[in-house]
Amino acid sequence: MIPGNEPSFRESVDLMFNHAVALMDLPPGLEEKIRVCNATYTVRFGVRLRGQIHTFTGYRSVHSEHMEPVKGGIRYAEAVNQDEVEALAALMTYKCALVEAPFGGSKGGLRIDPRQYDEHELEQITRRFAYELAKRDLIDPAQNVPAPDMGTGEREMAWIADQYARMNTTDINARACVTGKPLNAGGISGRVEATGRGVQYALREFFRDTRDVEKAGLTGKLDGKRVIVQGLGNVGYHAAKFLSEEDGARITGIIERDGALFNPHGLDVEAVHQWLVKHGGVSGFPDATHSAEGGAVLEEECDILIPAALEGVINLGNAARIKAPLIIEAANGPVTAGADEILRDKGTVIIPDMYANAGGVTVSYFEWVKNLSHIRFGRMQRRQEEARHQLVIDELERFSADTGIGWTLSPDFKQKYLRGADELELVRSGLDDTMRIAYQSMREVWHDRADVLDLRTAAYLVSIDKVAKSYRAKGL
């Protein structure tokens, strides 16, 4: 995907890192220690399928262990390779630091097209891969905790958790060995939607400060903004759905593997998603024009562009033609280092991946904590909170009756106020808080430092500083 005259994904991440550390004052050697990937394990294993042995290649990369466990998703895609896994692991280090999730960075990948296998075959392959990783402590609640990424989801995470539990029968914290599990297998409410939800919260925070909105040459709030999304998978679907259904944004373009849909009046995200699930592509969807050349739709007029599929899609080949004034990198690494420079010069504002898609790891953090504490969030407080709110309502109503002022509380207020928060509400609240605070830390650097011209550099400065402080505290 990345044209040959551009650096690889990992080199791109390194270039962006180097650009940021040049503005910092790190002790000699520490900069290099933070930048390099600590270790990458490559495994080749065989699985007997359809009467013959198939060999698969997988990776698990550990970028930084300044905090443990290390954390990062497992990707299933044909293009998976060591360079990509290392780039993604590095991004995990910076991402976790930025959103204050207490993890080092890691990432895994299996070179496979999951669509070529049925469910039973995928289970066999996943269990074998998990076995190979767990055997080397590359899956472990205290050392390395994977999560879903492109091509994987709750189902694969449940298989991994079960495989680990079978191999570690006395580990009481076994469920914390992986996150993104289904609710009935130790998952947490709101994890599936988390990354897309985080993109929504990130944009809301961006639009709260008129200075930022003006920097992108935009005005107003999210309501009515024209949005183009690439990739209607886990991240893209949830981001597009929430932005259109809850914030009034208009999804004018959706780009998928088999081309793009365009409708200036706005697409019905739920309907497109159902069509995609049923037909395996977006072609043939009514109420929109379909263009076979999906990538070209990245260059259409819109207010917000959300690349939510894969890396390197905005590169030297098309950066100059991108019209969106605001890009939010829901995918990891969708903008190459070269394109980043072109866009910065053009004045395009980019909300960088390490922040924009951190909702996933944030809620994964909550899930890990839930697994270690062996109790659902809100279980102890919810009814007590409701009882205390009931006391306030009773007192207000008594006061109204006693004084004869005839004041009544609306049923809607009473219902909302009386309801104690369940796990989903707590997760969303924690995610919203995390996304706001992390954005504010980037914004501060972006506005306060004359030598920081973009949010990506600001994000790197904040996160590298945190990683450096961890290393210093450890005595390195």
Query: Is 308 an interacting residue with respect to ligand NAD (CB under 6 A)?
Result: yes
Question: Side by side, which strands form the sheet with 70-77?
Answer: 39-49, 52-64, 104-111, 70-77, 144-148
| Residue whose entry in the numeric block shows the structure tokens 């976790």 | 96
Instruction: Among 99, 101, 161, 235, indicate the residue that binds ligand NAD (CB under 6 A).
Output: 235
Residue 176's Cα: distance from chain center in Å? 19
Instruction: Among 309, 319, 427, 461, indicate the residue that binds ligand NAD (CB under 6 A).
Output: 309
Query: Is 300 an interacting residue with respect to ligand NAD (CB under 6 A)?
Result: no
Residue closer to ligand NAD (CB basis): 31 or 329: 329
Angle of helix 194-208 relative to helix 234-246, nearest 10 degrees, comes to: 50
Query: Is 360 an interacting residue with respect to ligand NAD (CB under 6 A)?
Result: yes
Q: How many CB atoms lie within 10 A of CB 49?
A: 14
Residue closer to ligand NAD (CB basis): 317 or 420: 317
3-state secondary structure of 7: coil
Name residues contacting ligand NAD, limited to 8-37 (CB under 6 A): none
Segment near ligand NAD (CB under 6 A); pick from 38-46, 163-171, 303-311, 430-438? 303-311
**Residues 266 and 250: beta-carbon distance below 8 Å:** yes
Residue closer to ligand NAD (CB basis): 289 or 384: 289
Dihedrals phi, psi of 326, to nearest 5 degrees:
-135, 125
- Pick from 274, 189, 183, 262: which is nearest to 226 by CA? 262
For residue 71, indicate whether it is catalytic. Answer: no
Site string for ligand NAD, 379-408 (x = CB under 6 A): ------------------------------
* Catalytic-labelled residue, pool 33, 71, 95, 107: 107
In what helix (H) or strand (E) does residue 157 lie, and over which residues does it extend? helix 154-167
Instruction: Among 62, 331, 459, 468, indicate the residue that binds ligand NAD (CB under 6 A).
Output: 331
3-state secondary structure of 438: helix
Segment near ligand NAD (CB under 6 A); pick from 7-15, 37-45, 233-241, 429-437? 233-241
| Segments of 174-239 assigned E as strands | 226-230
- Alpha-helix residue ranges (DSSP H) falling in 27-99: 30-35, 82-98
3-state secondary structure of 377: coil
Query: Is 233 an interacting residue with respect to ligand NAD (CB under 6 A)?
Result: yes
Query: Is 150 an interacting residue with respect to ligand NAD (CB under 6 A)?
Result: yes
Instruction: Among 234, 244, 336, 457, indicate the residue that binds ligand NAD (CB under 6 A).
Output: 234
Residue closer to ligand NAD (CB basis): 150 or 426: 150
CA dist., res. 290 & res. 368, Å (int): 42
Minimum Å distance from CB 177 to ligand NAD?
Answer: 17
Active centre residues (catalytic) = 107
The residues that touch ligand NAD, with contacts defined as CB under 6 A, are: 148-151, 195, 230-236, 255-257, 294, 308-310, 330-332, 357, 360
